[in-house]
């Protein structure tokens, strides 16, 4: 697994993927984005055990473009077929603490966040700023999803936001 960050500019993904490919790596998954003028993300790369050192050394050639930090993956962390996924969509007036409050509920229910994407945008017509989030969580079998939904509905009322669980 690689974490990457650098000043946003054209050619970053191309340069990174060239190093990975040139050193026998296979680009498997990634989440990459430009945020606040920076380009950042996570890339899952597979490489034969004997190629790890060469790939790691070659990644340092990107230091002028990207800071790349390799992290050993957990091969045992594959998908758990007994878990279901729920998607939470949230929309409401922006204010500090929304992410903290929602993730606290998820943590109390022992749910693992698979992905979270948030953004703010100007509210049409009403003025102000809207906060939007989409959170995908893994729900272990046997979890009380009705209790989770009830707690999220209560929180939505307290925060004056809409939370939809699908």
Cα dihedral 87→91→94→98 (10° resolution): -30
SS3 track for 63-108: CCCCEEEECCCCCCCCCCCCCEEEEEEEEEECCCCHHHHHHHHHHH
What integer pLDDT is reported at residue 135 of this predicted model? 97
pLDDT band at 75 (very low <50, low <70, confident <90, very high): low
CATH T-level fold of 2-70: Alpha-Beta Plaits (3.30.70)
**Superfamily of domain 84-165, CATH level 4:** ACT domain (3.30.70.260)
pLDDT(43) > 60: yes
Percent of the chain with pLDDT over 90: 87
Where exactly are the structural domains of the chain?
2-70, 84-165
């Amino acid at each position: 697994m690689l974490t990457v960050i650098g000043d946003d500019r054209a050619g970053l993904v191309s340069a990174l993927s060239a190093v990975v490919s040139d050193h026998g790596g296979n680009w498997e998954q990634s989440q990459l984005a430009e945020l606040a003028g920076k380009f950042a993300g996570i890339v899952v790369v597979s490489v034969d055990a004997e190629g790890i050192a060469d790939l790691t050394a070659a990644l340092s050639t990107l230091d002028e473009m990207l800071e790349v930090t390799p992290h050993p993956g957990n091969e045992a962390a594959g998908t758990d077929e007994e878990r279901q996924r729920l998607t939470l969509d949230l929309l409401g007036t922006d204010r500090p603490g929304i992410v903290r409050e929602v993730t606290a509920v998820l943590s109390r229910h022992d749910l693992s966040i698979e992905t979270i994407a948030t953004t703010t945008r100007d509210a049409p017509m009403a003025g102000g700023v809207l906060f939007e989030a989409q959170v995908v969580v893994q729900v272990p079998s046997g979890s009380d999803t009705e209790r989770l939904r009830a707690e999220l509905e209560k929180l939505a009322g307290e925060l004056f936001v809409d939370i939809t669980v699908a």
